[in-house]
Amino acid sequence: MKVPTFDDVMAARERLEGRIVRTPMLRSPVLDAALGAAVLVKPEPLQRTGSFKLRGATNRIAQMSEAERKGGVVTFSSGNHGQACAAAGKMFGAPVVVVMPTDAPTIKVESTKRWGAEIVHYNREKDDREAIGRKLCAERGATLVPPFDDADVIAGQGTAALELIADAKEAGLKLDALFVCTGGGGLLAGSALAVEGTGKGAAVIAVEPVGHDDHARSFAQKARVRNEPGGSTLCDALLAPMPGELTFRVNMGRVHGAAVVPDSDVLRAMRFAFDHLKLVAEPGGAVALAAALYGNVSLKDAVVGVIVSGGNVDPAVFQRALAA
């Protein structure tokens, strides 16, 4: 299994230029005042497909041969990576099949279809999505592009943090901490490589929803542990059952800590992003902001990076956030 490096993140940045949106760095005086810190927000809801996932999917599919692209792409995703593969597949002329849970948000299902992907549904509680994906690849001669446990996907995701570090430097700032929304750990791994490679020394913090804190527990035990089935599905983008084998290998020793946030704080953070950043964030995309705003760690006088990782939220869920 190829292990990604900082050089891979740098190569991904060059490969993605002109193919994705270079999202801006956002500031808010209200957010700075709330934390007593300089807070630098990376708004990936402004990315094409509405999340950071386009970075990794595009970096992976861009490196496939013409024959591989003709054979097509298979992936499994609750929505954001599926949309990203569908968009990247369309960009490079590769048909895409997405294995999606039956309870995936409607907005993600419909968006994935609009990019031209075929959807195969599975039961999140009973079925093995990876086994379904492998079976489809064998039947169709397709290439599996996993949502996080892939070196090229990880390298692509790392470009978000790389851009934020560069924008901070241009503003005369150096990150002290970077809060990262964490599901399977791909964005976290790419961010950790970006921070390590730039020599900036920021503390990289994994952020997870309550009940899905597999990274926090895995870091504590120095081994991958699995989440118990069930629990809240509000943060649908972050419900990977356990850290990836490759992502955990990258993250262990590079990530400085983990924070766990309740659904109530996630909804409040979504409302805060809407009110003060004019940004629509989905629950899984807002957990890093929730940890920065409502966590129990003092960030006074620090320079804090926050990746808001996605904005594909169903209207009914967003209404809950606006009422929070």
Q: What is the mean pLDDT of the chain?
A: 96
Same domain for 261 and 305, yes or no, is yes
Confidence class for position 33, pLDDT limits 50, 70, 90? very high
pTM score of the predicted model: 0.96
**Residues 236 and 276 grouped into a single domain:** yes
Q: For residue 174, is it within any domain?
A: yes
158 and 179 in one domain? yes
Last residue of a domain, one of 126, 144, 162: 144
pLDDT computed for residue 137 by the predictor: 96
Residue 55: pLDDT band by 50, 70, 90 thresholds? very high
Read off the pLDDT band of 213 (50, 70, 90).
very high
pLDDT in tens, 61-107: 999 999 999 999 999 998 899 999 999 999 999 999 999 999 888 99
Q: Please identify, among 128, 144, 160, the residue that sits at the C-terminal boundary of a domain.
A: 144
- The CATH number covering residue 268 comes to 3.40.50.1100
* Residue 1 within a domain: no
**In whole angstroms, what is the distance from residue 147 CA to residue 158 CA?**
14
Same-domain status, 164 and 116: no
Residue % of the chain over a pLDDT of 90: 93
pLDDT at 201: 87
**98 and 27 in one domain?**
no
DSSP 51: B
Tell me the CA distances in angstroms from 5 to 2, 127, 192, 193, 299, one per residue in order.
10, 33, 10, 7, 29
Q: Is the pLDDT of residue 17 over 80?
A: yes
Instruction: Note whether 122 and 64 are same-domain residues.
Output: yes
Same domain for 93 and 163? no
53-62 helix and 6-16 helix, angle to the nearest 10 degrees: 90
Domain that holds residue 131: 54-144
Strand order in the sheet with 143-144: 118-122, 96-101, 73-76, 143-144
Q: Could you tell me the sign of the dihedral formed by the alpha carbons of 29, 31, 35, 37, in that order?
A: negative
Task: Please tell me the total count of domains within the chain.
Answer: 2
Q: Are residues 139 and 155 in the same domain?
A: no
Q: How many CB atoms lie within 10 A of CB 161?
A: 30
Q: Are residues 109 and 242 in the same domain?
A: no
